[in-house]
Amino acid sequence: MGYAFSSGYTLLLLLFGVFPAAYALFLAFTKAGQFVGVDNFARVLSDYRFLPAVQNVATYLVVWLIVQTVLVVVLALIVHSIGVRWLSSTVRFVYYIPGALAGASSVMLWLFLLDPTVSPVSGVLRVLGLETFVQTVSVQNLPIIFTIIAFWTGAGGWIVIMYGALNNISVEVMEAARVDGAGMVKTAWHIQIPMMRKWITYMAIMNLAAGTQLFVEPRILSQASKGVVPPDYSLNQLAYLYAFRQGDFNGSAAISLLLLVVALGLAAFFVLRGGLFERD
């Protein structure tokens, strides 16, 4: 029965994960079917659009990972501390609702919210000195905007997961902390957060993987802003331009492979530092 349940996932993983990755590996080191070594990588790395895209994605990842990790853990601790069961369930449900929307739908909603001429939060935008949509989506504001959108759509699911992790902490451990006089803050800092470390690491890895694939948000904002957001803002957008504007699938595959290597390296760092596979 176990094989039956896992066979569907394995088949999809092979079709849409392993085989495309292997084909990208082949394309990255060939040109017209001939082996060309690292020529495709050298061409991509010398592209004037490559380094700005790396900088944009790196800035977004730093801002997003810090904001997402801190706020998700804090909100999960707050929800877990609510003693009234129906209120706790309601808050978790409310947090989860935005995550049920597709990514593109969320961006469309945020297009409305970010336009000071029609936004219900236009007062807040004007206090921040943002009078027009173009000012709001200027390039220097994009890491913050993408962080807000990503947090709004993704935090609810992670808060529910962290809530489950908090429920796995032994009642005896929590009771011992209370007997020793630890308040909410000390209990969270010295007991709960250390015991959630593996889950926090797992969240960081998954968010890192998602963040390096930044594509939908800048692409829709680029179209809506008529070019204020550059069409090559992220590395995934640049790979898309290589493949479908320039017809250079080899260069596109090289960018994809570079992203994969960097993401795997950072994921390995988080796994080793976070003790994800250590036994308790």
**Shared domain check, 54 and 163:** yes
**Shared domain check, 127 and 225:** yes
**Shared domain check, 21 and 57:** no
**Shared domain check, 266 and 223:** yes
**Shared domain check, 199 and 117:** yes
| Residue 266, domain member (yes or no) | yes
Backbone angles phi, psi at 279, to 5 degrees: -90, 140
Which pLDDT score, from 0 to 100, does residue 103 have?
61
| Residue 207, domain member (yes or no) | yes
44: confidence class by pLDDT, cuts 50, 70, 90: very high
**Shared domain check, 144 and 87:** yes
If one counts every other C-beta atom within 10 angstroms of the C-beta of residue 168, the result is 9
Which pLDDT score, from 0 to 100, does residue 69 have?
92
| Residue 169, domain member (yes or no) | yes
Model confidence pLDDT, tens digit, residues 215-230: 988 888 888 887 788 8
Name 30's bridge partners.
Answer: 35
| Residue 9, domain member (yes or no) | yes
90 versus 242: the higher-pLDDT residue is 242
**Shared domain check, 56 and 171:** yes
Mean local confidence (pLDDT), 69-84: 89
**Which pTM was predicted?**
0.84
Per-residue pLDDT at 246 exceeds 80: yes
Domain count, the chain: 2
| Residue 44, domain member (yes or no) | no
Spatial separation of the C-alpha atoms in residues 79 and 77, rounded to whole Å: 6
| Residue 42, domain member (yes or no) | no
Spatial separation of the C-alpha atoms in residues 97 and 106, rounded to whole Å: 11
279 versus 58: the higher-pLDDT residue is 58
Mean local confidence (pLDDT), 72-97: 85
Domain with 24, as residue range(s), is 1-36
**Shared domain check, 57 and 8:** no
- Kindly report the CATH number assigned to the domain that includes residue 114: 1.10.3720.10
45 versus 154: the higher-pLDDT residue is 45
**Shared domain check, 141 and 30:** no
| Residue 158, domain member (yes or no) | yes
Which pLDDT score, from 0 to 100, does residue 101 have?
67
Angle between helices 50-81 and 85-96 (to 10 degrees): 170
**Shared domain check, 155 and 25:** no
**Shared domain check, 251 and 204:** yes
**Shared domain check, 81 and 181:** yes
